[in-house]
Amino acid sequence: MSHYPPLQERELPKPPHWSKAIGVGVVVMGLAIGTGELILWPHIITKHGLVLLWLALLGITAQYFINKEVARHEVATGESFFTTAARAFQWTVFFWLFTAIILYIWPGWASAIGTTLNELFGFGTHLMWSWATLALVLVLTFSGKVAYTMLEKTLKITVPIFFVLLLVISYYNLSLEILHEAIRGVFSFGVIPDGVDINVLLGAVVFAGAGGMLNLAVSLWYRDKQVGMGQYVGRITNPVTGREESVATEGYTFDTENPENMKRWKNWMKYVHIDQGVVFLGLGFTTLFLLAVNAYAVLTPKGLVPEGLDVAVVQAHIFGDVFGPIGFKVFLAMAFLMLFSVMWTVIDALTRIVTDIIYTNARIGKYQKVFAPFKRFSIGKLYYGAITLIAIIGAFLILLEQPLTLLVISGVLSGLSMALYTPLLIYLNNTRLAKPLRPNIFTNIAMTAIAIFFAYFAYRVIVEAIGNIFGA
């Protein structure tokens, strides 16, 4: 039995023009392009060859289905995944809260940016630039009236600029022979060369897109974009520069017997398919593909398999050798855009997850006493206070940070979280939604396969960890 109030029935809002519905796919792509795409996949491809590109396609396609199913429940109810999950299993409130913090409090991307900007400008220190970019996140966040709107508008500028720079670099760097070999690798299903580190591979598959709990933040971004029933919930607004909106703690439902509601439902889901299918999956995989193949083309002839941030820095120096100072600067500028996009989006996602769970459970549910000290804060004050605190903590944690190591650990833990929430997502969408709103048989088969895939890798990682402990 749920300890939350029941959903209120209202009419499903009319969808806007499709161009206004697009946006969350850009945000998730901005999240994706600076993790596996910049560091893990170029590292793996230069070390083991283009034959592993099929796993990149598998990973990002899996996340397309996950994102779509996370969005489905938000469109239908306006609720976040975390509230919906707690309706079925109340204890998950604490699990998601602590897991998100453990996974994403580490400032790996801020440190990566510090290294990149130090190379780009040739002065300052790695720490100085890392702290400066964390400060820039706060400046940009506090500049807008609505937190999500500012994030989306910025990424709609940085992501296209990055993509154009990537196409220019690829045009001058890639031969038809390499592209043909890479395309063969995309379709080399099942081929895994000997000697591949399973943990690094899992991290790369998980980061072929957003990865881990970051996919679950899709429900929060769609809600703040007021997609579907999210129009009734309210948005996170800046308590300094904007008027605070009343934000509901529970969601809504609509009459599926009403033909107009169902017509609108199909249109809302069509926008989700375009947003996640064309923008996230299409452009996201193209980005991953080109970055990995560029790394292969530049580094493999020189016998280089750099670790961590060296993947970007070494490529930049090689581009400088071939194309002069402009090539060096262009590659580093592209790397900065990638890393800044992912850093800001990860910080925003973590802040939203923490804010949503605390705000909701301070007002409804059986854990109100636990979260009671936060009840006096509006959702805006919680969000903007939390993002400031997370940036400050990140500034201190940078001193302990090892980029590749933390990305691999985060990837493994993210993969384990996906092994847990994917079957839960299947259960929620097939039992908690009205029958006309549930996923079709094809989507359920795909989601089941994805759940098995992540469960298998989770099993492999756990067995290997146990073996290392007892074998030491």
Burial of 273 (0-12, 13-18, 19+ CB in 10 A): middle
Q: What is the pLDDT of residue 82?
A: 95
- Is residue 165 within 8 A of residue 280, CB to CB? The reply is no
| CA separation for the pair 221, 411 (Å, rounded) | 22
pLDDT tens profile 86-110: 999 999 999 999 889 888 887 777 7
Is residue 67's pLDDT more than 90?
Answer: yes
| CA separation for the pair 377, 373 (Å, rounded) | 9
pLDDT band at 449 (very low <50, low <70, confident <90, very high): very high
Mean of the per-residue pLDDT values for the chain?
85
Please give the structure tokens belonging to residue 360: 């909701």
Higher pLDDT, 125 or 142: 142
Is residue 407's pLDDT more than 60?
Answer: no
Mean pLDDT of 29-46: 71
Report the candidate in 343, 334, 288 with the shortest Cα–Cα distance to residue 40.
288
pLDDT tens profile 246-261: 788 889 999 999 999 9
Length of the chain in terms of residues written? 472
Share of the chain above pLDDT 70, in %: 90
Share of the chain above pLDDT 90, in %: 41
Model pTM score: 0.89
DSSP 63-118: HHHHHHHHHHHHHHH---HHHHHHHH-TTHHHHHHHHHHHHH-S-HHHHHHHHHHH
| CA separation for the pair 155, 349 (Å, rounded) | 14
pLDDT tens profile 2-28: 688 899 999 999 998 877 767 888 888
Mean pLDDT of 115-140: 86
| CA separation for the pair 158, 167 (Å, rounded) | 14
pLDDT band at 434 (very low <50, low <70, confident <90, very high): very high
Higher pLDDT, 39 or 443: 443
In a 3-state reduction of DSSP, which class is residue 253?
Answer: strand
Helices (H), 123-255: 126-143, 147-173, 176-186, 198-206, 218-224
- Is residue 11 within 8 A of residue 265, CB to CB? The reply is no
Among 306-320, 331-345, 376-390, 413-427, the range scoring the smallest mean pLDDT is 306-320
- Is residue 76 within 8 A of residue 252, CB to CB? The reply is no
CATH class of segment(s) 8-471: mainly alpha
